[in-house]
Every structure is written in C-alpha cells, then in structure tokens.
Structure 1
C-alpha cells in the first residue's frame, strides 16, 4: 500500500503526507523544473504470486508532480491467482500529474492485472507513458507469460470520459498474425487527458509524431495517434525492443509538455 498527497504553497509543490507498507515506498522527492519529482522504489525482487500493490495519489489544486519508478516492474511466474497493481489518481482543479513509470517485464508464466483509475478536476492535466515487454528475450522467454490484463478508466468530475480494456493471452491468441502484432514484440502507450486540450494542440501532437523516425537502428517503430471522444489523446506504438519505445515515449512526452504546458523538456525519464 502506498498513499501520497501533494499541496501547492508559495508557488511550490511539496509532499503533504505519505503512507506506505513494505515493499513499496517513495524513495525520494526532489524539485524538477518547477514541479515535484517523485521516485517509487520496490524493495522486493518484483511482483510475486498473490501480490497486490495499491497506490493512491492525491494532487491538490495547482500542484505539478512527476512520478516515476526506480527500475523495471518485474512480474514473476504465477501458477494460480497472479499479481496485480491497482492505482488511483485524484487531481484537483488545475493540478498536473505526469506519470512515467519504467517498463513492465513479464517473466515466463506470469499473470498480471494492472488497473488505473483517474479523476480529473477542472483544468487538471494527467499524462502517462507505459511500455510492455514480452519477457526476458535473452532468456528466450518471448511471449511465454500466461496472461496480461490492463484497464484504464478516466473521469472528468463525475463523468466517465474514457475506458480502455486490454487482455493478452499469448498461448491462445495469434499475436504474430498480419493485422495483429505481426513482427512487433513490445508495445507502448502515451495518454494525455485534460479539458485544456484544443484542436490546435491535437494537430500539433499529430505533426510531432510524424517527425519521428520509423527505424531506430535495426528496430522498426510503428505509431498512431487518436483523439478520444472527450478531453483526451492517446498514442500507441510498437517495436521489437524496449529502448526505441523509451525514446519515442520521451519524445512525445516532452512534446506534450512544450505544446500544452509550455514547459522545457525533462531528461530524467529512462536515463
């Protein structure tokens, strides 16, 4: 369990309070280009069978925070119940949260369920970039995990504005088929939700994505950007390794900071 809240006082975002139980905790907070940086540490080897991490973030009015993790989220084999992370973000009016965790690594026979719920106030901004790896490729574990389930739900006030559900079962799904993942093995998603988003912002983000190269060394990257039904934009990308997607997510994230928030790039992500 981890709970934390942020407050804005005298032009500065600070950690108002926190609570955690082993093995997860806030390793450190630090000032970062006018916002508060937060690093989450997992003192365990990773998610083991039966583990359920509960994280709750409360961003007070006008706060600006950047949240990341110390290392890859490693999900170990699970023969029955699996493991899970349930994460909730409450953003008060004009709060900004940039959630940029390190990639998720699914080991052989892993079962993992990730559930994220976001509640936006007026003028609030929530961004997230996530990357999913198919296993430890050097150990020949490609797509040998049992199941991956991912859910994202976003509310603006009391209104549901976005709901995404994903379930991957490699053993029973033809992921390598044309029209599915084909030759791609790693996937990434960038989400941006705010009532500040205008058609001009969306067009600028789409133009930004068009500037991305399609080849990173020996690795091809495919990417698409879509406007959601209300107050949102989602970019989905795929490649054959994690590092090209890390570069892509960093580029899009910093582009969104510039286009929407008029903020300078942050180089901490994936460094």
Structure 2
C-alpha cells in the first residue's frame, strides 16, 4: 500500500505557517505550537496505523520555504511488523534559502522477520539549518525479540546545492552478522544518529564539544560527536533504552533550535 504525506511550511509577515498539506491514510498532521508569540511552526505527524506493514511504501515530501522555520515531531514509536516482502519509506526534504528544519523522530522498533529499507534525501540552499535525528532499536526487547528482524537499512543523503556533503548508511542484518561484533552494536541494543548541517555560518569548531558536554551526565551510553565537513556535525549514540536515546537527541535538538533562534534575531538586528 502506498501512503503519501506532503507538507509545505510557508512564511509571511514575520511568521511561519502551514501553507499546504496533503496526506492519505494512515497519516494526519496536527499543529502543536504552544505559544502564539513564537513565530516558528510546530507540527506533529500522526498515524492511525499501529505501524508499518508488509508491502507498505511510505512517500513523504517536506518543503520549507524561504525564511520559514519548521520543527516537525513524530507521534510515537514506529513499529515494523513481521514481513515476507518488506516495506519501504522515502523522505524528500527541501530547504529553501534562509530556512530552518528540525526533526527528531521516535525510535523505530523492528519486529521479528521485519524487512525495511528507508531513504532520506535532503536538499539545502544557502543559509539553511538542518537538525535530523533517528533511532533504531533491537526490537521488542521486553518480549524477548532482540535482533530477530531480518533486514534494516536507512540511508540519509544531504545535498548543498548539487553537492553531496553528508551520507549516512545504517545497515543492520542480525541474521548474517552478530550484532555484538566489533563495528556493529558491540553489546548495546539501541543506536541513535543526529545530523546537524548549517549552510550559512557553517559549524563552529567547538560544536562537537558542546554537544558531547550535553550528554556527559547520561549513564549507560557511549556517544561521539564529530565534524564531517565545514557545514556539518554528526552525533552517534549507543545505549540500551529507546526513551533515553530519544531524550538525548531531544536535548541536543533544543540546544541547536535555541541557537538558531538567536542567530535569526541577530540577522534581523
């Protein structure tokens, strides 16, 4: 089943707004902004489905117009059910000049025999900021389904103009390679990835240290943050709890979001 979602975030009179949205079942979009004085747009992607089913194809298209600021939120954990053929998801995100897009998604939970291939294509113009976070778990851990899915792959490609500046490929095949092996999960059960890109001022040299400092008080995780070029920083976290990793990414997200607000105000002044 092909499921479509389209969102366009516009900008007018100093405020971001939902210019247009289109969706088919099971998607819904809700405005979750809390403060009328906040000129940014806050949306939540909701779903009436319990998760992604065998044969599903999710097609998501998000456009952030010039000067618009959009923070997108997910509703809950995304379950990948038992499959024979597999499911797919493609997200296309377009950032026009001077726009900001921030999206940290709830963890993905692959059930036994789940097969999933995801692709995120993000295209950025000048003076844009992107924060994009994803988490994959071992499965239904408390039900004894630890790494019993068949195939999970999620590829994220970020382009600045026509140039590829970041590419992240998460590939987990527990039936072919033990997840505790070196270079895999190494004893942990959950993995989080956050990509931050700034095509305006670029990334400050001390940003990885700032982000690492935000996580210093967290126990039971191992984390790293590194610059992947003049415009981007990538954070990777391994842990044993989905909620903990989600809170870690949200903490980083809010730090970067507030910094983007300050930068926007300074531009206006």
Partner of 2:249: 249
Q: Answer whether contact 1:91 1:120 (CA < 8 A) is retained.
A: yes
User: Matched residues in 2 for 1:26 and 1:179: separation?
Assistant: 38
Shift in Å, 1:260: 4.6
User: Matched residues in 2 for 1:22 and 1:110: separation?
Assistant: 21
Bigger shift: residues 222-231 or 29-38: 29-38
User: Matched residues in 2 for 1:29 and 1:244: separation?
Assistant: 23
Partner of 2:104: 100
Q: Answer whether contact 1:202 1:233 (CA < 8 A) is retained.
A: no
Partner of 2:262: 262
Shift in Å, 1:198: 3.9
Superposed CA deviations along residues 228-250 of structure 1, whole A, max 9, x for unmatched, are 13411100000011122122212
With normalisation by structure 2, the TM-score equals 0.90
Partner of 1:165: 169
Bigger shift: residues 44-53 or 177-186: 177-186
User: Matched residues in 2 for 1:198 and 1:155: separation?
Assistant: 14
User: Matched residues in 1 for 2:173 and 2:208: separation?
Assistant: 32
1:111 to 88, 104, 115: 115
2:209 to 191, 206, 211: 206
Q: 2:17 aligned with 1:28, yes or no?
A: no
User: Matched residues in 2 for 1:95 and 1:113: separation?
Assistant: 28
Shift in Å, 1:211: 4.6
Partner of 1:268: none
Superposed CA deviations along residues 50-81 of structure 1, whole A, max 9, x for unmatched, are 001101011110000111111111110101x2
Bigger shift: residues 47-56 or 34-43: 34-43
Superposed CA deviations along residues 160-191 of structure 1, whole A, max 9, x for unmatched, are 21222221100111221245322111000111
Runs of 4 or more consecutive aligned structure 1 residues displaced over 6 Å after TM superposition: none
Q: Answer whether contact 1:61 1:92 (CA < 8 A) is retained.
A: yes
